[in-house]
């Protein structure tokens, strides 16, 4: 039996912070808090450090960027998975939902073929990865080709979270064709002719999207896979998504929509980069405003795993109780995804833990445990 006693740490519990306290891990599970050290335990002194639950990230696009760091420049999927696994551990993320886009043949990495390769690489790496890597498939509703592949993945238990996204100009985060064209040109290096072709295809296939969405939502329900919506822009859209079984609203673009999502019992997700930058990259609602209005349930990394912990420290510096801020990246997203065994320093929970020090608001993760096993350790020699 493995037994680790963590001592002298600043522990962040779900509703309070304990200074210079302790936590006992046995066989990967939190067994006691603020107890005494058993004679058989290995003691880890975290004097001067903070200990929080491992971060649960519901939405991160960074794997796609590892696979295609520049437009039409592709790296092996297995290498991309290995690199992002280590980036997440370094950032304190212990459960990552990798957002993988199924969008027909629309964009380089956001295609059926590449998406399937990334899913396969994640599954293949499950026994050797540092953290819990989970699969969040994003379905572009104007894609008429991906349904069979997604239904097969659902049936084989290969999807942990499914979201519906619609990047058709005229709604959501792209109010007009010019805004979407600028996004494609900037992010994917598409030419004007390629952009016109993509927009024409999206508009042509939008009319039949409802049937595909309903079919996929039924399949997700059959296999008990959580369903999320993306860039909701109105109360009506929230109500439609709720009727399909959606329980998570990612990046609602205005306060009214976020409020409706909360009223309907959905969890809302905003980007940690939005907190750090003080604004949305697409002109949607500020995460600060959503938090102030009480309509933000979770923060996700969106595209930058390293943004999560600094965002929480920023919120603490601005006056939010630290335990409340930490819940935005730990137990709240865990509960939204139906994970009842992690995300909290609570007796009986998985010992997914993150220790860090903070220098002027910049966190430095020192140690990460996954299921009570040390997955990451940082050492510095410059202070000697």
Checking DSSP bridges between strand 298-300 and strand 267-271, what pairing results, if any? parallel
Q: Over 60: is that where the pLDDT of 383 sits?
A: no
CA distance 145 to 78: 25
| DSSP-based three-state secondary structure for 364 | strand
Query: What digits encode the pLDDT tens for the residues 219-244?
Result: 999 999 999 999 999 999 999 999 99
CA distance 108 to 105: 7
Our CA dihedral for 293, 10, 362, 270, rounded to 10 degrees, sits at: -30
Mean pLDDT confidence for 42-53: 96
- Residue 273, both tokens: 């980069």
**What does pTM read for this prediction?**
0.92
Q: Are 343 and 21 in contact (CB under 8 A)?
A: no
Q: What's the pLDDT score for residue 142?
A: 87
Q: What is the DSSP letter of 272?
A: H
Our CA dihedral for 49, 51, 52, 56, rounded to 10 degrees, sits at: 90
Mean pLDDT confidence for 248-259: 97
Cα separations (Å) of 151 from 148, 172, 212, 240?
5, 25, 11, 21
Query: What digits encode the pLDDT tens for the residues 264-312?
Result: 999 999 999 999 999 998 889 999 999 999 999 999 999 999 999 999 9
CA distance 52 to 345: 7
Q: How many residues in total does the chain contain? A: 384
Cα Rg, the chain, nearest whole Å: 21
Domains observed in the chain = 3-52+347-377 (2.30.40.10), 55-337 (3.20.20.140)
| pLDDT, averaged across the chain | 92
- Residue 258, both tokens: 């976020």
Bigger pLDDT: 71 vs 201: 71
Q: Which strand (E) or helix (H) includes residue 94? A: strand 93-102
- Residue 147, both tokens: 């349904």
Cα separations (Å) of 349 from 48, 55, 334?
24, 14, 12
CA distance 118 to 382: 38
Q: How far apart are the first and last CA of the chain?
A: 35
Cα separations (Å) of 156 from 36, 118, 159, 213, 223?
45, 16, 8, 20, 9
Q: Are 51 and 357 in contact (CB under 8 A)?
A: no
Neighbouring CB atoms inside 10 A of 47's CB total 9
181 Cβ neighbours under 8 A, 6+ residues apart? 192, 195, 199
- Comparing CA positions, the residue from 90, 54, 31, 45 lying closest to residue 354 is 54
Bigger pLDDT: 132 vs 204: 132
């Amino acid at each position: 039996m493995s037994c680790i006693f963590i001592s002298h740490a600043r522990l962040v519990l779900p509703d309070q912070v304990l200074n210079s306290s302790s936590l006992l891990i046995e066989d990967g599970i939190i067994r006691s808090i603020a107890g005494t050290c058993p004679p058989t335990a290995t003691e880890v002194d975290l004097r001067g450090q903070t200990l929080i639950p491992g971060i649960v990230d519901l939405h991160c696009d960074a794997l796609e960027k590892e696979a295609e760091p520049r437009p039409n420049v592709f790296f092996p999927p297995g290498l991309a998975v290995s690199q992002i696994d280590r980036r997440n551990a370094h950032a304190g993320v212990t459960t990552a939902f990798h957002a993988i886009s199924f969008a027909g043949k629309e964009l380089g990495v956001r295609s059926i073929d590449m998406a399937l390769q990334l899913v396969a690489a994640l599954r293949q790496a499950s026994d050797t990865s540092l953290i819990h890597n989970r699969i969040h498939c994003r379905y572009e509703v104007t894609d008429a080709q991906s349904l069979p592949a997604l239904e097969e993945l659902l049936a084989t238990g290969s999807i942990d979270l499914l979201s519906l996204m619609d990047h058709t100009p005229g709604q959501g985060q792209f109010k007009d064709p010019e805004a979407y064209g600028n996004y494609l040109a900037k992010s994917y290096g598409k030419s004007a002719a390629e952009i016109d072709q993509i927009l024409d295809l999206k508009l042509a296939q939008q009319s039949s999207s409802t049937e595909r969405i309903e079919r996929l939502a039924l399949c997700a329900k059959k296999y008990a896979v959580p369903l999320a919506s993306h860039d909701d822009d109105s109360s009506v859209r929230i109500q439609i998504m709720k009727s399909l079984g959606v329980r998570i609203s990612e990046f609602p673009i205005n306060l009214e929509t976020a409020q409706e999502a909360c009223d309907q019992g959905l969890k809302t997700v905003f980007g940690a980069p939005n907190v750090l930058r003080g604004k949305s990259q697409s002109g949607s609602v500020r995460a600060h405003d959503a938090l102030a209005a009480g309509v933000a349930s979770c923060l996700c990394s969106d595209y930058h795993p390293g943004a999560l912990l600094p965002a929480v420290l920023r919120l603490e510096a601005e006056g939010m109780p630290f335990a409340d801020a930490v819940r935005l990246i730990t137990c709240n997203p865990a509960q939204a995804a139906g994970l009842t065994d992690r995300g909290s320093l609570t007796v009986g929970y998985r010992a997914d833990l993150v220790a860090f020090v903070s220098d002027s608001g910049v966190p430095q993760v020192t140690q990460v445990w996954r299921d009570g096993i040390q997955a990451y350790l940082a050492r510095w020699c410059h202070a000697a």
